[in-house]
Structure 1
Amino acid sequence: MPHLWVAIPDSSLSDEQTKRDKSIKIAQFARACSIFRVKRIYIYHDPLSQFEKDDPVLLRTVLRYLDTPQYLRKALYPRMAHLEFAGILHPIKAPHHKPAQDIKTVKAGDVRTGVIAKVKGQLFVEAGLGSLIPFDGEGFDGKKVNVKFTSPHPNLRAMEATDLDIFEYWGYEVKEVPSVVKLVSSVDNTTVIVASRKGTYYKNTEAKLAERIKGSENVLVVFGAPRHGVHEILAKEKSSTRLEFMINMFPNQATETVRLEEAVLGTLAILNSSLLSKN
């Protein structure tokens, strides 16, 4: 199964008036992406929309916060205005959000997310087990890291885990890019899908898209802004980029618009049911 990525604009919150409503909308993005195993969320700049200067910071901060296991949040996120409404947001509860665990039950080969702590020149990792665990590797104080335990209690030690050590969905990463054009032109071996009301109906391109995905390492789904579609943003950037898969996922929609959070959830659900779960 290819890695699934999504791209949303930094103007994603422009149709919400309060920080509370914006925070709830971000949580809907985080939940949708986690349900369908999105590995990476790109935030690209929207040159057409007007939005509050702080919106992109709020967007990336809350997305990253929600992806962080609860036992690490105090260590990684001090009290800040951007997280004022974090307490009312629905948790993700993805596999990497491990519950509290008795340190004596940890086995060699177990994987958890932790944060590196440097004590008297030695590296340890805080992994929500009630005490710091010696860390064999390199890193800096405060670095978030996935760790694999290499020996059991009472001689518990950890090292940085690789992708080969992780067999479950392990959350998403958040990256910011200057434009959708630069994003699309920079990804290799990736099938790019643009969700657009002006696109081809999904069923008319499903077979071709399925064949393309079979040979791709990644699938990137690009969404437009609350008030502007991707095609308008590309036109503003004077892009000559040819996008093969510009697809209308909601033919015969009865509402004037499909909200961005609805488009993300609906599109990922359709792709998962039709294509991604079969590749």
Structure 2
Amino acid sequence: MAERARKRPCGPGEHGQRVEWRKWKQQKKEEKKKWKDLKMTKKLERQRAQEEQAKRQQEEEAAAQREDQGRHYTLSVALPGSILDNAQSPELRTYLAGQIARACAIFCVDEIVVFDEEGQDAKTVEGEFRGVGKKGQACVQLARILQYLECPQYLRKAFFPKHQDLQFAGLLNPLDSPHHMRQDEESQFREGIVVDRPTRPGQGSFVNCGMKKEVKIDKNLEPGLRVTVRLDQKQLPESKTYRGKVVSSQDPRTKAGLYWGYTVRLASCLSAVFAEAPFQDGYDLTIGTSERGSDVASAQLPNFRG
């Protein structure tokens, strides 16, 4: 038998290189394992943070439902726009509209319906005021002034451009309703306007709520839209924005019992006041006022279902 070929002995240099290579390979394996462990740890931390945030939100919503102190009924007022025709000057017309808005705000009216006694079809507030005494134009002017006074001061510039109907509206005293807040005033709800600021898809929009910082909401909405925002209870002081969610404009009333202003609706005639009611079953109770009506003390009303 032929002798087996003997292995060539390694020199000291080759053996040292082989040992260094093994060490380097072992170090790489350990670093890769540490990197994987770190990546997995961060992933678990993110998941845990998301779960905790979702849990906090559920607890906040549950607490809000438990502490429901809301008002579930609404109050509407209908009046003819021709009431402004009794004023002798544009200044007095504006003042009269301001008095109507203030009275409705004091008694927490949720809807103001301006109807046209002449029966003209006026369903928007886009018309032009053409002077005192013009038929139908008083409805448009009254509705526009009512909307202007209901809007918070920091939003008026965005929603109400310069208009002849609002020439003297700046002289009226503010309503100072609960949703007319100062910059540093704290509240769970705020009115705002969606700003035209680029965001990533699915990352929400930014809303100007009249505060030092903008509010980042949970939905992507069209810029220029007026929204009601519910601010998160816990905010990060070092964050550049506040956090909040878009809610229905009825939530401050139904969940917190706050008076949140009124809506304005134009009706082409008296019958349209009831036929075009925004509520599914219409109005539960209707009371008409007249100088030839019966005394309110003698009237029998159904039980209140608030």
Normalised by the length of structure 1, the TM-score is 0.67
Please show how residues 95-134 of structure 1 align to structure 2 within 5 Å: 95-101=178-184, 110-121=188-199, 123-134=205-216
CA displacement at 1:173 relative to structure 2: 0.6
Q: Which amino acid is the alignment partner of residue 208 of structure 2? A: E
1:201 to 2:284 alignment? no
Residue 20 of structure 2: aligned partner: none
SS in 2 for 1:14: helix
SS in 1 for 2:212: coil
Residue 136 of structure 1: aligned partner: 218
Residue 92 of structure 1: aligned partner: 175
Structure 2, gaps ≥5 residues long: 1-70, 121-132
- Specify which of 218, 231, 240 is matched with residue 149 of structure 1: 231
1:18 to 2:104 alignment? no
CA–CA separation in structure 2 for the residues paired with 1:213 and 1:12: 33
Residue 64 of structure 1: aligned partner: 147
1:169 to 2:259 alignment? yes
Change over 3 Å in CA distance of 1:138–1:12 after alignment to 2: farther
CA displacement at 1:87 relative to structure 2: 2.0
RMSD over equivalenced CA pairs, Å:
2.3
- Answer yes or no: is the 8 Å Cα contact 2:116–2:270 preserved in 1: yes
Q: Which amino acid is the alignment partner of residue 170 of structure 1? A: W
Identity across the alignment (%): 29
Please show how residues 174-189 of structure 1 align to structure 2 within 5 Å: 174-185=264-275, 187=277, 188-189=282-283
Structure 1, gaps ≥5 residues long: 218-279
CA–CA separation in structure 1 for the residues paired with 2:297 and 2:169: 39
CA–CA separation in structure 2 for the residues paired with 1:101 and 1:33: 27
- Answer yes or no: is the 8 Å Cα contact 2:76–2:110 preserved in 1: yes
Normalised by the length of structure 2, the TM-score is 0.62
More helix by share: 2
CA–CA separation in structure 2 for the residues paired with 1:73 and 1:184: 30
CA–CA separation in structure 1 for the residues paired with 2:272 and 2:303: 21
- Answer yes or no: is the 8 Å Cα contact 2:119–2:269 preserved in 1: no
CA–CA separation in structure 2 for the residues paired with 1:191 and 1:170: 22
SS in 2 for 1:28: helix
Q: Which amino acid is the alignment partner of residue 16 of structure 1? A: A
CA displacement at 1:79 relative to structure 2: 2.2
Change over 3 Å in CA distance of 1:182–1:192 after alignment to 2: same
SS in 1 for 2:259: coil
Residue 78 of structure 2: aligned partner: 7
CA–CA separation in structure 2 for the residues paired with 1:47 and 1:149: 45
Which of the pair has the greater relative contact order for Cα pairs under 8 Å at 6+ separation?
1
